[in-house]
């Protein structure tokens, strides 16, 4: 939401993708209030065929894309000996393969235009893995690898590709993780104290706000960031230093 609104403020029309209408509720209207066009596409990005169809429909509606932000993400808590292959595949298809599919469908339009910006939302867990989140960490490591490959492959076409790596962000997804009894038990935390402990683990002693992540995405999509590509930039209040 924050990134969509920030890009609208920057002058972009915005195509929005989510697996349920509830996740998109009111967002297109909020973009339109900023005098930009927006359209919502309800699609499960882990369904490659359906997602490709939605992307092509967006191209028909908006024309060739100049910016792509891959922000889909799911997280499940599981010790490795209790991790099903089906759950692993779900996380990979949502967090990583969907980004590949979006690039596969849209990059040709950016090549033709000779300009483009790709921003993949990874995580500091894509640089340092976390226990009991093997699929999530692996998917975010993979997203950084994909970002680097894209940067090298597309450099001659005026296209940059970068990853943004948030830490603890004040989002529904993070709160769900911090309030998950299974996650807290495995990490030997009390549910009532987990958010405070997460906050105190950050050198700045706070959770990052979504607007801070959006601000970095905005910059990476600008002309002024043309020399930045293949990078994985943390927004974590100092929680990770590499």
Strand partners of residue 14: 38
Catalytic residues: 136
Tens digits of residue pLDDT in 131-174? 999 999 999 999 999 999 999 999 999 999 999 999 999 998 99
The residue among 170, 163, 165 whose CA lies nearest residue 208 is: 170
Q: How far apart are CA 151 and CA 201, in angstroms?
A: 32
93 contacts 136 by C-beta, under 8 angstroms: no
pLDDT at position 25: 76
Sequence ranges of the domains in the chain: 64-235
The answer to whether the CB of 59 falls within 8 A of the CB of 109 is yes
- State the CATH class of domain 64-235: alpha beta
Residue with tokens 């309030």: 179
Place of tokens 């999530």: 136
Tell me what pLDDT residue 21 has: 85
pLDDT single digits (tens) 177-206: 999 999 999 999 999 999 999 999 999 999
Model confidence over 57-82: pLDDT tens digits?
A: 999 999 999 999 999 999 999 999 98
| pLDDT confidence of residue 23 | 76
What distances in angstroms separate CA 153 from CA 130, 142, 147, 163, 230, one per listed residue? 30, 16, 10, 15, 10
Strand residue runs (E) in 122-210: 159-166
> DSSP of 21-46, one letter per residue?
HHHHTTHHHHHHTTT--EEEEE--TT
Region 110-121 average pLDDT: 98
Residues 6 or more apart in contact with residue 170 via CB below 8 angstroms: 207, 208, 209, 210
What letter would DSSP give residue 56?
A: H
């Amino acid at each position: 939401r924050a990134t969509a609104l920030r890009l609208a403020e920057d002058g972009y029309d915005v195509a929005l993708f989510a697996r349920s209408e509830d996740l998109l509720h009111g967002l297109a209207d909020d973009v339109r209030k900023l005098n930009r066009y927006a359209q919502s596409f309800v699609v499960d990005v882990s369904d490659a065929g359906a997602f490709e169809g939605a992307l092509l429909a967006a191209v028909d509606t908006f024309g060739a894309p100049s910016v792509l932000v891959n922000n889909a993400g799911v997280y499940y808590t599981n010790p490795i000996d209790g991790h099903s292959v089906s759950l692993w595949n779900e996380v990979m298809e949502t967090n990583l393969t969907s980004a590949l599919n979006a690039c596969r469908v849209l990059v040709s339009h950016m090549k033709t235009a000779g300009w483009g910006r790709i921003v993949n939302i990874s995580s500091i867990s894509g640089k340092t893995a976390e226990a009991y989140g093997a699929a999530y960490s692996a998917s975010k490591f993979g997203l950084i690898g994909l970002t680097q490959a894209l940067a090298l492959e597309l450099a001659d076409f005026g296209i940059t590709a970068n990853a943004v790596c948030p830490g603890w962000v004040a989002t529904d997804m993070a709160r769900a993780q911090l309030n998950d009894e299974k996650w807290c038990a495995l990490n030997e935390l009390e549910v009532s104290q987990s958010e405070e402990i997460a906050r105190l683990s950050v050198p700045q002693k706070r959770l990052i706000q979504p607007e801070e992540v959006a601000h970095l995405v905005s910059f990476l999509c600008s002309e002024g960031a043309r020399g930045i590509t293949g990078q994985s930039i943390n927004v974590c209040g100092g929680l990770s230093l590499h």
